[in-house]
Amino acid sequence: MPKARSRVSACPHLPPTSCGTIFLLLGTLTWTTVTLWVSRGWTMGTRDSTSQVQSRDFDPIAQHRVRLQALDTQTLDCGAPNKLRCTRGSVEASKIHRGCLENSAEPRAMRIAVIGAGVIGLSTALCIHDRFHALVPQLQLEVYADRFTPHTTSDGAAGLWQPYLSDHGNLQETLWNKETFEHLLGYLNLPEAKEMGLFLISGYNLFKQPVPDPSWKNIVLGFRNLTPKELELFPGYSYGWFNTALMLECRSYLPWLTNRLAQRGVKFFHRKVESFEEMFSQGIDVVINCTGIRAGELQPDPALQPARGQVIKVLAPWVKHFIITHDMESGIYSSPYIIPGSELTVLGGIYQQGNWNEENSAQDHKSIWERCCRLLPTLQKAEIVQEWSGLRPARPSVRLERESIGHGRLRTEVIHNYGHGGFGITIHWGCAMATARLLGNVLQEKQSQSRLSAAAICQTAEFPPSWPRATYPKEVLENMD
- Residue 232 vs 329, nearer CB to another protein: 232
From 429, 127, 400, 417, select the one nearest 266 (Cα to Cα). 127
Smallest gap, in angstroms, from Cβ of residue 120 to another protein? 24
Minimum distance between the CB of residue 240 and another protein, rounded to whole angstroms?
11
Burial 287-298 (b: 16+ CB within 10 A, else e): bbbbbbbbbbeb
Our CB check for another protein shows the closer of 183 and 446 to be 183
Binding status of residue 342 toward another protein by CB under 8 A: yes
Taking CB under 8 A as the criterion, the residue among 81, 222, 354, 408 binding another protein is: 222
For 60-81, letters b (16+ CB in 10 Å) and e give bbebbeebbeeeeeeebeeebe
Stretches 81-89, 209-217, 275-283, 311-319: which one binds another protein (CB under 8 A)?
311-319
Minimum Å distance from CB 172 to another protein? 23
Q: How far is residue 415's CA from residue 145's CA, in Å, rounded to a whole number?
A: 16
| Interacting residue with another protein among 226, 257, 286, 398 (CB under 8 A) | 226
Q: Does 321 bind another protein (CB under 8 A)?
A: yes
SS3 117: coil
Paired residues of 392 in beta bridges: 307
The CA distance from 48 to 134, in Å, is 9
Q: Which of 59, 56, 4 has the alpha carbon at shortest distance from 28?
A: 4
| Binding residue (CB under 8 A) for another protein from 89, 150, 317, 464 | 317
The sign of the CA dihedral 250, 253, 259, 262 is negative
> Which among 69-77, 124-132, 187-195, 462-470 is the span making contact with another protein, rule CB under 8 A?
187-195
Task: Provide the minimum distance between the beta carbon of 201 and another protein in the complex, in angstroms, as a whole number.
Answer: 5
Q: What is the dihedral of CA 308, 313, 318, 320, to 10 degrees?
A: 30
β strands within 278-353, DSSP E: 286-289, 305-315, 321-325, 337-340, 345-348, 352-353
CA distance 137 to 110: 9
Residue selected from 201, 293, 295, 398 as contacting another protein according to rule CB under 8 A: 201
The distance of closest approach from Cβ of residue 203 to another protein in the complex, given in angstroms and rounded to an integer, is 8
- Residue 353 CB, nearest distance to another protein (Å)? 32
Judged by CB, which is closer to another protein: 202, or 444?
202
Window contacting another protein (CB under 8 A); options: 94-102, 131-139, 378-386, 423-431: 378-386
Among the residue ranges 94-102, 208-216, 314-322, 390-398, the one whose residues contact another protein (CB under 8 A): 314-322
The residues, any chain, with a CB within 8 Å of residue 359's CB and separated by 6 or more, are: 389
Q: Residue numbers of the site for another protein (CB under 8 A)? A: 185, 188-191, 193-195, 197, 199-202, 221-222, 224, 226-227, 229-230, 232-233, 242, 244, 247, 316-321, 340, 342-343, 377-378, 380-382
